[in-house]
Amino acid sequence: MNKWLTLLLIGAVGVVVLQQQILLRRPPRLLNITPQPMHTGSAGLDLEFSRPMHRPSLAKSSRLQPELQHRWLGQGNALRLVVEGGISIEEPLQLHLAGSDLRSQEISPQTWWWDPRPWLVVNRQVAGGEQLQLRRRDGTWQAITPVWPAITQVVPLGNGRGIAMVSSNGRGQEQIWLRRLKPAVLQTEKTLLSTPRLEALEQLTAGPLLFGHLSSNLSGDLLVQKGGFQAGSQTTELLLNNGSSQTLQVKTSGPLHLIPAGGGMVVPAKDGLRIDSISEVRGSDAQILPGSREIGAFCSASGRAVLIRHWPDYRRSIELVIPGLAPRQLHLGDQAVIAVACNNAGTQIWAVLGRWSAQGREQTMVLMDETGRIKKQKQLNPWTLQPGTQLLIDPARRQLLMCVSENSDNNTAIAALMDANTLEWSEFGRIPIKEAVWLTP
């Protein structure tokens, strides 16, 4: 009996060793490839392999067409391809993937088509109310939502897999919705690249609301602040991208903003801006920025943020927040700071500054570096940024997106694009809209 048991154990060990040898001799495989929004360049891809890869081999053997300057980062099974910042991407990219692992086993060569350009989504004024529409690459428009009397907020999920919105019936009642999307910007054939596929339209609230506010991070989590018509009905809920949710107990004096990298949120408080962790209860050592400040823009890849500070003498300043350092003042003056944006690395900051005079409103676009030195500026006249809209950067094409109008009393605007380097206008829309945003590919 012992003899047979010994032989059986030896046989089992032999099978395990044989399987290990077979696996070691198998070529490495690409397990997963996904667009990465958190990068310092124009675009990024995350690649996961079945075995630790030799990064210099991939860098030497792989090709990117058009031949744009790029870098391979990371080690082991997980690597990242980053197209260098400052490069404008005007067409889909073709990645020929090749190289070897640390045992010099070659990966099977393969080709991927990748379109890192974001999609333009507008809140369009149509017959009967307002509707979200997405612009296809050929310039035509695709409806994303039904027509509602009004849409008061539009927040694309940071991972590109949906758009959340707040609708209003025009009588003070709001609803919160989420349109699920399935991206198709990374394919093995160019003909398979397409606009995101529309999936379910979900109503995130059971009844009418008095107010709703939304925020998302790059993981695709969605923060929902809502309040009904009864006292004490205000709640804050975090809907995670894995389908789970959690209710947050947080006291705030204004809208919350999720930090792009995840794990935290910026909380307006009486004594300034507070940074809270989502997973832990806030303690006495919470990070607080005192003073009357508001979030202007997040520079997602660097952990930096641009703040707008309001001073008691009605001056406004622009501050760059770098993790671990005191806020760096980039601008201080009596002009209104209407909107700001920054690149992913936080090394370039754009701001729209406004001044009111007898001749009307005058607005100026300013490009600054991370020290506050002005690199370029341009008068926007006769155009002005529509109140309440954002200034947004497209890192792939190096374009700034704005909603502008010629008449300050007009409630409608058009979407306009400006070259982020030269500050020259590049495109004006033709349809009346209330808001325009970028949808991450």
Q: What is the pLDDT of residue 127?
A: 94
CA 60 – CA 49 distance, rounded (Å): 17
Is residue 281 in some structural domain?
Answer: yes
Is residue 303 in some structural domain?
Answer: no
CA 85 – CA 342 distance, rounded (Å): 13
Q: Judge if 82 and 153 occupy the same domain.
A: no
Side-chain-facing half-sphere of 187: CA atoms under 13 Å: 15
Is residue 103 in some structural domain?
Answer: yes
Distance between first and last Cα of the chain: 64
Tell whether pTM > 0.85: yes
Q: What is the pLDDT of residue 11?
A: 59
Give the type of residue at 274: R
CB 27 within 8 A of CB 106: yes
Q: Judge if 69 and 165 occupy the same domain.
A: no
Q: Judge if 100 and 208 occupy the same domain.
A: no
Token pair of 126 as six digits: 């149509």
Other CB atoms within 10 A of residue 429 CB: 18
Q: What is the pLDDT of residue 14?
A: 58
Is residue 432 in some structural domain?
Answer: no
- Beta 264-269 vs 78-83: how paired, if at all? unpaired
Q: Judge if 62 and 166 occupy the same domain.
A: no
Is residue 357 in some structural domain?
Answer: no
Give pLDDT tens digits along the chain (441 positions).
Answer: 566 666 666 655 555 544 555 455 679 999 999 999 888 889 999 999 999 999 999 999 999 999 999 999 999 999 999 999 888 999 999 999 999 999 999 999 999 999 999 999 999 999 999 999 999 999 999 999 999 999 999 999 999 999 999 999 988 899 999 999 999 999 999 999 999 999 999 999 888 999 999 999 999 999 999 998 888 788 999 999 999 999 998 888 789 999 998 889 999 988 889 888 887 544 445 678 888 999 999 998 888 999 999 999 999 999 999 988 889 999 999 999 999 999 999 999 999 999 887 677 899 999 999 999 999 999 999 999 998 899 999 999 999 999 999 866 667 899 999 999 999 999 999 999 999 999 998
Q: Judge if 158 and 254 occupy the same domain.
A: yes
Cis peptide before 66 (omega within 30 of 0): yes
Q: Judge if 160 and 279 occupy the same domain.
A: yes
Residue entry with tokens 């009357």: 292
- Beta 174-184 vs 194-203: how paired, if at all? antiparallel
Q: Judge if 163 and 209 occupy the same domain.
A: yes
Q: What is the pLDDT of residue 365?
A: 98
Q: What is the pLDDT of residue 5?
A: 61
Q: Judge if 154 and 266 occupy the same domain.
A: yes
Domain count, the chain: 2
Closest CA to 365 of 327, 319, 399: 399
Is residue 333 in some structural domain?
Answer: no
Q: Judge if 153 and 95 occupy the same domain.
A: no
Domain containing 64 equals: 30-114
Q: Judge if 179 and 51 occupy the same domain.
A: no
Q: Judge if 166 and 38 occupy the same domain.
A: no
- CATH number for the domain that contains residue 34: 2.60.40
Q: What is the pLDDT of residue 282?
A: 47
CB 195 within 8 A of CB 136: yes
CB 410 within 8 A of CB 400: no
Is residue 369 in some structural domain?
Answer: no
Domain stop point among 291, 320, 338: 291
Domain stop point among 291, 323, 339: 291
Q: Judge if 170 and 213 occupy the same domain.
A: yes
Domain stop point among 263, 291, 319: 291
Is residue 157 in some structural domain?
Answer: yes
